[in-house]
Amino acid sequence: MRTALVLAALALPGAMPAEAKDDSRSALIAALDKAADARLDARAAAVARIATPAAADARKAWVRAEILKRIGGLPPRTGPLAAKVTGSFAGKGFRVEKVMFDAMPGQHITANLFVPTGRTGPYPAVIVAPGHGPNGKAGNYAFAASFARNGIVALAYDIVGEGERMEYWDAMTGRSRGERPTGDHSIAGFQTMLTGDHLARYFINEEMRGIDYLISRREVDANRIGAFGCSGGGTATAYVAAMDDRVRAAGVACYVNDFKHLLAGPGPQDGEQSIPGFISSGLDVPDWVELAAPKPYAVISTTEDMFPFEGAKAAVAEARRFWGAYGKADRLEWYTGPGPHGAIAPMANRIIDFFRRNLRATGPVVPFERLQPPRPEDVLVTPTGQIATSGGGTTIADINRARARAIVTPDSPPARVREAIRALTGAKGLSGAAPDADIGEAGRMTLALANGPLQARIKRAAEPSGRILLLLDPGTPLDALAASNGRMAKLAAAGWTVVALQPRGADGSEEIKSSLVGDQNLLALRALLVGRTLTGIRIDDVIATIDWLARLEPGARITVAASGTMGPIALQAAALDPRIAAVRLTGSQVSFRDAVSRPIAPDLPAIAVPGVLKAYDLRDVIRALDGRPVELVAPVDPVGVPLRETEVTRLMPKGATWSWSATEMQP
């Protein structure tokens, strides 16, 4: 009994300030980038061989089909727009209508429609997507007004997580729980991955519905539609120009790049910009541009952009060759100017001229001015300034939840579940030659693994009794494992050999998009781009560590004790490795489906597996342990709220061996 109590006390080691940097994260990034570079080089060589319209068309057909497969297709655009105008005001040479329409039934888009005055229509039109800023459409007021003053109708809309469309609005704080647009996108992005979809499908659909709205207006000539956006709006513009042939001219600012430069620089960015398997399937950012060939296209870049300028240069060079296969290289224009990300106002007159020429706008040219609305609140479409508090509407989380309900996770036998774990996580899930290990002072240990070194601490049993404990904690910095030394010593005195493993990439340094998704968000996206998952990588790390432990003490009974987000990792590793005799989880989630059924699921990047609900849930993984015991200590829902035993019981399948306790036992 005393040994069990000590074991319980060790499951959640206390955190202390880190004194040394764990280099497993940088080693993993280097390994992932190496895999990406090899695939990107092969892709670039294939694209370089394209020299005829037929070859270019064939490439475009394949790219389009591959993208649609990877994002879950596009939603049907059969529902009514349900468009309405909630107000209007006059500007200098234009009027602004405050409009709302539906992207999908009940999913409202708020927008401002800028219509020229004093000119003769019907007019060409441009849909204007906002960058990743909280003010959404208001940030494009000056550009939209200038389009209208130059004879072009402009529809400036709020993208998901911006303006009046905060997906995770908290009325108590008056801000999004996602903290900023990139946070909203990251949360929604990982939730949609679990159903086998991707956030990009919804961004593309919204732009297409915006075009549907434009051509429904009598002022607009449906044959002269353009698209424009900067930063995140540049992404949305590149997407719709690639996927919607109604776009006759596109201007994409501060987005066009290539992954080779992007990964070597700031790394992957937003949820909708990083599609699982995109690079490994033979795609790159320039493919979005080349899908639009040979229509008129303007790439707009700033020399000090966070998106590396050299990457933009390389992407434009390749795209011009692609346009050249159609004999239309002159239709791809590249505008460059000094300044940081988003500093495109100095190029505004060139941008307006591009659309005037290619959409055949008439009337006098009016130079760009940094116009602003009479009052900031004048652009608001809803009474409260937020859809969430103005009668509500459907969010992407709602839509994805409905998609998940239609997915019946198969009741697969254990062998099939193990196959699915390997296929979806990318884990090899196979034991191999035991890795080399370097053991230093105070039990510090470095394991030499395929993805780079992995750090741990070890405490050998004073009198070995054939019992080994592997500890997995999600966020304890390496040197803070020293805080467990006293407890590890107790276990060692009781006959246990204990290894506390530092999960690969846990000591993060990348930009945190939102505290709800954590500092492993960008690392997870980097892995997903090359067809890997952070889950699969960590499963392989656990199994490689088991290889070493099995050599250290042959025949020993190995127990894995994991907490938090390392719980699902431990379960899937145990399903693949029968040498794990028992699993103990503390404060861990026990259902992937629950992460979709809740409006918000924090820390999903650490455990997300694309398309997992179509193959298995964690309940199926527990059953796949074939009777090996699983102890669930204070299991939680995706938000971290403790689950009652009755709730866990409903989740568990017949044939699973598990036990439950509400609180952590203390020695």
* Residues β-bridged to residue 100: 84, 110
More confident residue, 621 or 269: 621
What confidence tier does 485 reach under pLDDT thresholds 50, 70, 90? low
618/609 Cα distance (integer angstroms): 11
Beta carbons of 302 and 231 less than 8 angstroms apart: no
Cα-flanking dihedrals φ and ψ of residue 87, to 5°?
165, 175
In CATH, the number for domain 50-404 is: 3.40.50.1820
Q: Of the ranges 9-18, 300-309, 477-486, which is most confident?
A: 300-309
Task: Kindly report whether the global pTM for this prediction surpasses the value 0.85.
Answer: yes
Among the listed residues 264, 236, 266, the one whose alpha carbon sits nearest the alpha carbon of residue 252? 236
User: Is the confidence at residue 119, as pLDDT, over 50?
Assistant: yes
Cα 112 from Cα 233, distance rounded (Å): 15
- Residue 619 contacts residue 591 (beta carbons within 8 Å): yes
What tokens does 236 get?
């949305």
Is the pLDDT assigned to residue 124 strictly greater than 80? yes
Q: Is 22 helix (H, G, I), strand (E, B) or coil?
A: coil
Q: Which of 22-26, 117-121, 123-127, 361-365 has the lowest mean pLDDT?
A: 22-26
Phi, psi of 318 (to 5 degrees): -65, -45
For residue 6, pLDDT over 50 is answered with no
Does the structure show a pLDDT above 90 at 476?
A: no
Torsion angle, alpha carbons of 488, 494, 496, 498, to 10: 0
Distance, CA of 207 to CA of 224 (rounded, Å) = 16
pLDDT 10s digits, 518-575: 778 889 999 999 999 999 999 999 999 999 999 989 999 999 999 999 999 999 999 9
Give yes or no for residue 309 having a pLDDT over 90. yes
301 has which bridge partners? 336
Q: How would you classify the pairing of strands 630-633 and 580-586?
A: parallel
Out of 19-33, 434-448, 583-597, give the one with best mean pLDDT.
583-597
pLDDT at 434: 81
CATH fold for the domain made of 2-14+413-661: Rossmann fold (3.40.50)
Question: pLDDT digits over 190-215, tens only?
Answer: 899 999 999 999 999 999 999 999 99
- What confidence score (pLDDT) does residue 17 get? 33
- Axis-axis angle for helices 53-71, 200-216 (nearest 10): 110
pLDDT band at 615 (very low <50, low <70, confident <90, very high): very high
Q: Mind listing the pLDDT tens digit for each residue in 68-106?
A: 999 999 999 988 999 999 999 999 999 999 999 999 999
Asked if residue 224 lies in contact with residue 248, where contact means CB atoms within 8 angstroms, the answer is yes
| Residue ranges per structural domain of the chain | 2-14+413-661, 50-404
Strand locations in 550-626 (E): 557-563, 580-586
Is it true that 2-14+413-661 and 50-404 share their CATH fold?
yes
pLDDT at 14 over 80: no
Per-residue model confidence as pLDDT tens digits over 381-432: 999 999 989 988 899 999 999 999 999 899 889 999 999 999 999 999 888 8
- Which pLDDT band holds residue 296 (cuts at 50, 70, 90)? very high
